[in-house]
Amino acid sequence: MYRGEYVGERSWTTRGAMDIGDKAVIQAIADRNKRAARIFVTGEIHESYIGEEATRLLISINDTLYEGKAQGEPLFVETKADTIRMTRFDPRAVWSCFNPDILVDLIKAEAARLSVPVDPWTMDNFDFYQEMIHVLREKNTDAVPIAWKDGELDDYHNAVYLSSLLLFDKPGYLATPVSEYFASPSVAAWMDRVDYRPLTAEEYGEWLILKEEYGRIKGLTNHEMHFVVDLYDRRSLYEE
């Protein structure tokens, strides 16, 4: 399924250290309910995407997951964003827990939901969202989403978030994890209709300088953030 090795020391979606009992639970869910199993692609899924039955299955399994144990954090939790999130998730470990054919179908479904042509048979990354950004970057070379500061607010925020990933490989704009951000139905709808524009020559030159100066810093720096935000100022784009 993978052409290369996992890129980076830690995927964007990795959380916590997985327990020895998690593997059996993951395998059982993948075999029993394919809609519930959609969570295993990214570690977080919106409840509206999998439906009430699959949502209840994930939450109710916590009641028996750690039966007889004095301690044990639930594997699945509901969030204020109406998602189900895995408290422990490592895609490299999770994806090896069940039939590869099931994983292929799950990745195809997630790619279709976000309108990005991720091919599970040619993936370079063990993290779906890192692979998704890789695919978008290849499809729209040196390009960013089209939006404006003085336009639709959600479009602007979505464009800034996605551009931070496309240009700098740095998630976390507005302190929102990628798994929560891309799980949103409104973001998926935006991904389906967004258009892209290439960087201007001036923007491209400044981008290269920023990557050279701040590329080794894991978090998004103020300089990088200001650059991304300025991409969506109509005045800066058309200034002489």
Q: What is the pLDDT of residues 124-135, one digit of tens each?
A: 899 999 999 999
Q: What is the pLDDT of residues 182-217, one digit of tens each?
A: 999 999 999 999 999 999 999 999 999 999 999 999
Tokens 């923007």, located at residue? 203
120 or 62: which leads in pLDDT: 120
Q: Give the model's pLDDT for residue 19.
A: 86
Per-residue pLDDT band for 68 (boundaries 50, 70, 90) equals low
d(CA 206, CA 194): 24
In three-state secondary structure terms, 43 is coil
Q: Has residue 7 got a pLDDT over 50?
A: no
Q: Has residue 236 got a pLDDT over 60?
A: no
Domain ranges of the chain: 22-120, 140-238
Long-range contacts of 179-182 (CB under 8 A, 24+ apart): 179/12, 179/13, 179/42, 179/43, 179/44, 179/85, 179/89, 179/129, 180/44, 180/79, 180/81, 180/83, 180/85, 182/42, 182/114, 182/129
Q: What is the pLDDT of residues 210-232, one digit of tens each?
A: 999 999 998 999 999 999 999 99
Q: Where are the beta strands (DSSP E) in the chain?
A: 44-46, 76-78, 83-86, 143-145, 196-198
Structure tokens at 238: 């058309």
| Residue 137 one-letter amino acid | R
Q: What is the pLDDT of residues 44-53, one digit of tens each?
A: 999 999 999 9
